[in-house]
Every structure is written in structure tokens, then in C-alpha cells.
Amino acid sequence: MQKHNLREHNETKVMEFILLGFPGPQYLQMLIFIFFVIMYILTVFGNMAIIILVATNRCLHTPMYFFLCNLSFLEIWYTTSIIPKSLAVILGRSKTISFTGCILQMYFVFSFGCTEYLLLSAMAYDRYLAICYPLHYNTIMDIHFSCKLAAASWMSGSSSISVLVLLISRLSFCGPNVINHFYCNTDSWIVLSCTDTQVVELVTFVLSIIVILCTFVIILVSYICIILAVLHIPSAKGRQKAFSTCSSHLAVIILWYGSTIFLYVKPSKRTSLEMTKLVNILNTIVTPLLNPFIYTLRNKDVREALKSLWHWK
């Protein structure tokens, strides 16, 4: 009994963490801060503009653009769950974050991330139906079915990460409390924890396999079928239009999946945190900005809607 009490006394539970951000000279901190601010503003206003454009233009009221609005809405909150706090950390104004705040940030970041995988797979399935089964597309992918797919993506994304976050919240921290990152991440917590993290690492790995790789397979199969169907289109103009749309979608998918597979689909989390931070910049800042623009600006319907809006003004 005395030994148990002594062990509890020695293992003082850390209830506050310090986010290290990006150590370096002052000019480098300011360059990173300016980059983060510009990217965040462009991401928020760009995604909001896409949502408003689709909502106000009746010719864009289709399942494809409905999913795109969901993706744009998701990207706004995904970056907002990371960037504002990161800006305060870079400036040195608020480097500390509470245990609860860290858990909440991790939950929102990972739940939004899981939802994005599912939305991208739903969008790939939508394109598969539109190109491979054009005559049956409107009867299969109606507004009710697209709403069900979007709702399932949001609900599955938020619920699937709950078990992992619960396990992470049960870890004990009795030593250093400095997180070598610009936001709360599982890798950083696993490195700092003074308790056994094998279960957390295993659950993270299994969840990554299920969510990331399974949705990637769905998207890959969908686009293989799309490419095969496009090759059978007799019109060269029709093939070019279909390939243009598919190539832009694939660029988004390769960028997003490439970075996330590197970060999460690995059996051990005790890897270089500096490399993890660099890849996370691509994952959490660059991709949310590029996603909607790649999906929209190369699309003829969106360009026509923008022209109509400009002439109307």
C-alpha cells in the first residue's frame, strides 16, 4: 500500500503542455507566421466563396457540387482547429495548452481528417456512377442518397476517432511536457508518455489501415473503372474533358493520401518529429487550400457560373 502511494506521488500527472512550434531565429519565425496567415486566409475565404457560389447558382445544385460544398466546409474547420493556435505559438504569445485543450484539438483534427477520407471516396463513387453509368446516374445518385452518403461520412469520421482519443486521454505524463510540434499530435504524446503506449500505437495503426487504405482502395478502383470507361468514349473532346476532370481529382488524392499514409500508416510512432512537422504543413495547410480550387477551377460548369456572376454584377 505504501509502495503504491509512493509511486502515485512520484508520477505527478502533467496537466499542461508547451508547444515548441518551429525553433529558430526571429526572422524565420516571422516568415513562417506570414506564410501560415496567408494560407489560412486564402483557405477560409476560398472555401467560403465556393460554398456561396454553389449555393447561389442553380445549375450547380448537383450531387457532385453538394459533396464539394461538404468538402469546403470541412476544410474551413479542419484548418481552424489547427492554425489559430499555431499562430499564437509561433508568435510566442500562447505556447501553453491544457491537457483538455490538447485532447479536444486532437479529436477535431483527426475526426475532420477521417471525414475527409470518406468524403473523397464518396466523390470518387459519384464520378464513377456519372461516367460509367450515365443513363442510371440520376436515379441512383439522387439528392436523398447523396445526403445519406455525406451524413454517413460525417458521422463515421467523428465516431471512429472517439475510441482512439479515449485511449490517448488515459495516458500518463510525468516527465517533460514540451511537445515538439505546432499542434497536439499523437506522435508527440506517445513520445512524452511515461506509460505503455503499445495499445495506442496498435489502435492508431489499425484505424489508419481501415480508414485510410480502405478508402484509398475504393477511390483507386473507382478511377480505374472511370479511366477504362473514358477510353471507350468515341469523341476525342469527350475523352479530353473526362481526363481533365479525373486528373485534377487524382492530383488532390495523391497529395492528401501520400502525406497522410507517411504520417499514420506505420507500426511505430517514434520517428523523426522534425520530418513529421514538415509533412504536417503539407497535410494541414497546403492541401486544404488546394483541394477545392483543383476541384472547381478546372471545371467548366464552375467557370461558367463565375462568368455569369461577374456579368450580372
Taking only the tens of pLDDT, the chain with its 313 residues reads 433 443 444 445 677 888 888 877 888 889 989 999 999 999 999 899 889 888 888 877 888 889 989 999 999 999 999 999 999 988 877 788 888 898 999 999 989 989 999 999 998 899 889 888 888 888 889 889 999 999 999 999 988 888 888 888 888 887 788 888 888 887 778 888 888 888 888 888 888 888 888 898 999 898 888 888 888 777 776 667 666 666 767 777 787 887 777 776 655 555 556 677 777 887 888 888 877 677 666 666 666 666 666 655 5
So what's the pLDDT on residue 10?
45
- pTM recorded for the entire structure: 0.85
The number of beta carbons lying within 10 Å of the beta carbon of residue 3 is 7
Are 245 and 303 contacting, i.e. CB atoms less than 8 angstroms apart? no
Locate 284 and state its grid cell.
494541414
Task: Supply the DSSP string of 288-302, one letter for each residue.
Answer: HHHHHHHHHHT-HHH
Q: How many residues would you count in the chain?
A: 313
Sequence-ordered list of residues with C-beta below 8 angstroms from that of 231, at least 6 positions apart, any chain: 239
d(CA 48, CA 58): 17
Which strands, in side-by-side order, build the sheet including 178-179?
Answer: 96-98, 16-19, 178-179
* DSSP letter (8 states) at residue 27: H
- How many CA atoms within 13 Å lie on the side-chain side of 259? 21
Task: Cite the DSSP H helix spans in 93-213.
Answer: 99-132, 137-140, 143-160, 162-169, 186-192, 198-208
d(CA 195, CA 112): 28
Locate the DSSP E strands across 15-88: 16-19
d(CA 138, CA 52): 24
Identity of the amino acid at 33: F
Are 131 and 230 contacting, i.e. CB atoms less than 8 angstroms apart? yes
Nearest CA to 201 out of 174, 167, 236 is that of: 167
d(CA 95, CA 87): 10
So what's the pLDDT on residue 287?
82
The rounded radius of gyration (Å) of the Cα atoms in the chain is: 22
